[in-house]
Amino acid sequence: MNNLDALHARAKALGLHGLLAHWHDAAAAEWLHNLIEWEEKERARRSLERRLKEARIGRFKPLCDFDWTWPKYCDQAAIEALMSLEFLNEATNAILVGPNGIGKSTLAQNIAHQAVIHGHTVLFTTAGQLLGDIAALDSDSALRRRLRHYVNPTLLVIDEVGYLSYSNRHADLLFELISRRYEHKSTLVTTNRPFAEWREVFPTAACVASLIDRLVHHAEIIAIDGESYRLKEATERSEKRGRQRRAAKP
């Protein structure tokens, strides 16, 4: 394929039908290459902006600032493997398990952001937001439409599973969602509860074992252990303010 044919293919991919209709007139123009390149870059920029907005990742600390020395245990190589996004190509899941405040959400946000940057569709939500949203719908048609909203993204991140307890209906809807994404799309879950305690999260649900089985099949399960990093930061801020007050005294 020569350069002009390549430009024609790029213009066709962009859907520049007016330009294509007058291709013989435009083909010799010096601005043709720049025009197509400008259009490609602008569309890529707008696509990234739209996907970042729709992903709802929120503000987060970048991975380069993550303190890997703070957790007592964290498999950094496993997290970096998730950052490579290979698990999205395989439509497998990832579960980050660890106590509150250890950095699970920060790691999940970094992985989600990396996926958006590399062209994937992403949705980041907490378990409470997700289940409250879909459980509030009464009509079957509205529920089907809303489930599609959560089924469609290449990566769905469900943060904070285990912080609240849920009803049978919540459990059934989560099982339905995980089942629809199973082996087609990747789901990343963060939880402060080992799977043995998920019956306390869904105390009366009959589908808990099936839900866990469907979620962890073909999944990368990464355990993180240690003290709360948020508590560490709060303690350090308090100590710093105390030193400043003492230094300010006459």
Q: Indicate if 125 and 207 belong to the same structural domain.
A: yes
Sign of the dihedral through C-alpha 224, 111, 157, 184:
negative
| Reported confidence tier of residue 149, pLDDT bands at 50, 70, 90 | very high
Cα 76 to chain center, whole Å?
Answer: 18
Q: Indicate if 37 and 91 belong to the same structural domain.
A: no
Q: Indicate if 35 and 87 belong to the same structural domain.
A: no
- pLDDT at residue 243 greater than cutoff 80: no
Question: Residues 1, 8: contact at Cβ < 8 Å?
Answer: no
Q: What is the pLDDT of residues 99-137, one digit of tens each?
A: 999 999 999 999 999 999 999 999 999 999 999 999 999
**pTM, full prediction:** 0.84
Q: What are phi and psi of 11, to 5 degrees?
A: -65, -40
Q: How many domains does the chain have?
A: 2
Residue 242 lies in a domain: no
DSSP letter assigned to residue 64: G
123, 113, 126, 101: which is closest to 64 by C-alpha?
A: 113
Q: Provide the pLDDT for residue 239.
A: 72
| Residue ranges making up the domain that contains 33 | 3-53
Residue 250 lies in a domain: no
- Rounded to the nearest 10 degrees, the angle between the axes of helix 168-181 and helix 208-216 is 30
Q: Indicate if 110 and 200 belong to the same structural domain.
A: yes
Q: What is the pLDDT of residues 181-234, one digit of tens each?
A: 999 999 999 999 999 999 999 998 899 999 999 999 999 999 999 888 777 777
Q: Provide the pLDDT for residue 1.
A: 56
Distance of alpha carbon 120 from alpha carbon 93, whole angstroms? 15
| Reported confidence tier of residue 248, pLDDT bands at 50, 70, 90 | confident
